[in-house]
A = this chain, B = another copy of it.
């Protein structure tokens, strides 16, 4: 077990209280958002609150996709692998995000907890039944997946056409925007993932990520206090750099 974790070893163990959604203190956009009390109760009745420790693999690419999840605490990395071990992050998840969309009946990627996490777990079969009964829920899900698709397309632009510095700046800005949406202030952001995770997200190596961050630091555009945080000093400049305006 990785250091510091006091949570369950695997995603399937340690089902907590049969989570009444009131426990989800995430007020923002999540699957449950904007449902009627009645629908919420139905949804809650098929969900199980679980907790997983840092480093734990929550789902595995090619495993049978029996569960869907809603993240209620912590952060998660999603990735795909090539046969020779090369890795591509497909996203990072934070509270409110949804996990488990699949084609056919296998997961399309693996998911691992970056920190101790709290999740709301739904059996796929029962959720699908429920979707038929509760059109609002299906609509909500459709919106969430559509949003993810748009973000995926932005990421394709980044991966296919941006330079290393543009990639890194874009990444920092997207984290900043997300933080801002949730907390109001967005110039101090937390980086729960390591350099090589960032590299695999941006299609770069650890070394290039490190070098690029050092450059930004030297130019005074960002600061990196030793904890897992990062401060943006000049968001204008960062924005320009993110799209090659320099």
Contact = CB atoms under 8 A, between A and B. Distances in A.
Contacts of A131: 139
Please tell me the size bucket of the interface on A: 35 or more
Nearest to A149: B149
Given A82-B244, A138-B138, A161-B82, A156 B90 contact: yes
Contacts of A70: none
Interface string A136-171: 001101100111111111111101111000000000
A23 interface: no
Contacts of A245: 83
A157 B83 CA distance: 12
Given A101-B146, A138-B142, A152-B152, A160 B244 contact: no
Oligomeric state, in copies:
2
Interface stretch (A37-45, A102-110, A214-222): A102-110
Interface in A29-88: 80, 82-84, 86-88
Q: Most chain-B CB neighbours within 10 Å: which of A90, A138, A161?
A: A161
B88 A160 contact: yes
Contacts of A203: 159-161
A146 to B, nearest CB: 5
A213 to B, nearest CB: 19
A120 B88 CA distance: 36
Contact of A149 (B132, B145, B157): B145
6 contacts: A82-B244, A84-B243, A84-B244, A86-B162, A108-B153, A135-B135
